[in-house]
Structure formats: C-alpha cells, structure tokens
Structure 1
Amino acid sequence: MYDRESRFKMEDTMNAARIEYTEKGVLNMAQRRCDVLRISRSGAVLGLLTQYKLPEQFYLDIPDARISKIGCLLMRANMNNTIDVRFLSLLSQKDLDRIFVFSTHPSHRDRTLDIRAW
C-alpha cells in the first residue's frame, strides 16, 4: 500500500515531539520524547534519545505546533537512533506550515503564521 502512494519531498526541521503507544495490550500507555528531524505530508524521520522497543503503530504529538494524535506506522529503525515513519493519513499543508513556524531549524527562521487563514 505505501509503495504505491505518491511521495512528498522531505524538508529538514527540528521540533520536539512525543511518541505515545500502549504497552502490554491496552493496560499501560507509554510516552517517549523524540525530535522530528525531517517531515513531509506523508512521513517523517524521528530522532530518538535512546534505543527502546517500539510497536509498529503509534501516535505522534507535536505539542509546540498544537498537533496531537498523528497516527504513524514504523517503516524502518536505523542504527543512528533514528526511525522512518509513515503517517496513516496525509498532513494538511496548514499543519505542515504550523510545524515549520515552531521549528528551531535555521532554514525556517523567517516563517510566520497567517492568523486570518485559521
């Protein structure tokens, strides 16, 4: 399914994020911190602080941009503590712009939000 959908260009970013998933069935809800290193409308590259066991499906929250519960599917875990994920639904361009506004990456320094578009 994911190999047939269109690919969107990944852009560098640096946002603090949080991964939420259930441990041991549905008894415990675990949260882990991470960084969004690259993002597109259909996926992202996340940097983890340490290595830990992740399930195949989890939620991604980006609290600075006020975006919560993005459904993610783990595509690949890399050796340099990064993971490649695909989103279960495409992000809107408005959400993507909001992520770039709150990014600490130097290439997004001059981005602003248009409050009339909200």
Structure 2
Amino acid sequence: MYDREARFPMQETRNAARIEYTEKGVMHLAARRCDILQISQSTAILGLMTQYHVPNQFYLDIPDARITKIGCVLMKTLANNRIEVRFLRLLTDKEINRIFVYSTHPAHKDYVLDVRA
C-alpha cells in the first residue's frame, strides 16, 4: 500500500506539538511535548527525547493550529532525538497552511490565515 502512494515533499517547520498515548493498557493516558521539525501531508519528523519509551501508535495534537487527534504510527527513530512518523490520514491543504501560519520557522513568516476558508 505505501509503496504505491505518491510521495509528498517534506517542508521544514517549527511548531510545538503534543503526543498522547496510553500506558499500561487503557487505564493511563500519557502526554509528552515535542516539536514538529519537518512535515508533509503524510509524514512528519518530530523532535523529542528518545531515551524514554516512544510508543508505536499515538495521537498528535498541534494546539496552536487547533488540530487535534491525528493518528500516527512510528516509522523509525532517527539520531539526535528525532522520530519519523506516518499519519493514518492525509492532512488537508487547509491544515498544512494553518500549521505554517503558526510556525516559528523563518521561511513561514509571510504566511497568513485565510479566514474565508
């Protein structure tokens, strides 16, 4: 399935985010802060401390852009406290634009929020 899908270009960004996952079955919901370093419609590279247990499946919340509960699957753990994740659904262009509006990356300083959409 993944080998036939179109590749979306990764773009650098810098957004605060949060991952939420369950520990010890369904009884305890845990959340950890992270940074989105690169993003596309289907994947993202997150920066967080990888010395701790990183779950295989979790939700990604981006509170500044008001995007909640994006289902993610851990693809691989990279060096320098980074992980590559795959989204369970494609992000829309509207959501990507909203992420770039609230990004602190210098390349996105001229992005504005379209209130008509």
TM superposition score category, shorter chain reference: over 0.9
Alignment of 1:67-78 (within 5 A): 67-78=67-78
1:5 deviation in Å? Answer: 1.6
1:100 deviation in Å? Answer: 0.1
The equivalent of 1:111 in structure 2 is 111
1:50 deviation in Å? Answer: 5.1
The equivalent of 1:39 in structure 2 is 39
Alignment size in residue pairs? 117
The equivalent of 2:57 in structure 1 is 57
Taking structure 2 as the reference length, what is the TM-score of the superposition? 0.96
Q: Take 1:112 and 1:76, find their aligned partners in 2: how far apart are those partners?
A: 33
Native 8 Å contact 1:33 1:49 kept in 2: no
4+ residue segments displaced more than 6 Å: none
Q: Take 2:24 and 2:4, find their aligned partners in 1: how far apart are those partners?
A: 32
Q: Take 2:4 and 2:21, find their aligned partners in 1: how far apart are those partners?
A: 27
Q: What secondary structure is seen at the aligned counterpart in 2 of 1:115?
A: coil
The equivalent of 1:8 in structure 2 is 8
Q: Take 1:49 and 1:106, find their aligned partners in 2: how far apart are those partners?
A: 24
In percent, how many aligned pairs have the same letter?
Answer: 68
The equivalent of 1:98 in structure 2 is 98
Letter matched to residue 53 of structure 1: H
Unaligned runs of 5+ in 1: none
Letter matched to residue 59 of structure 2: Y
Aligned-residue CA RMSD in angstroms? Answer: 0.9
Unaligned runs of 5+ in 2: none
1:51 deviation in Å? Answer: 2.3
Q: Take 1:2 and 1:57, find their aligned partners in 2: how far apart are those partners?
A: 17
The equivalent of 1:29 in structure 2 is 29
Q: Take 1:3 and 1:71, find their aligned partners in 2: how far apart are those partners?
A: 20
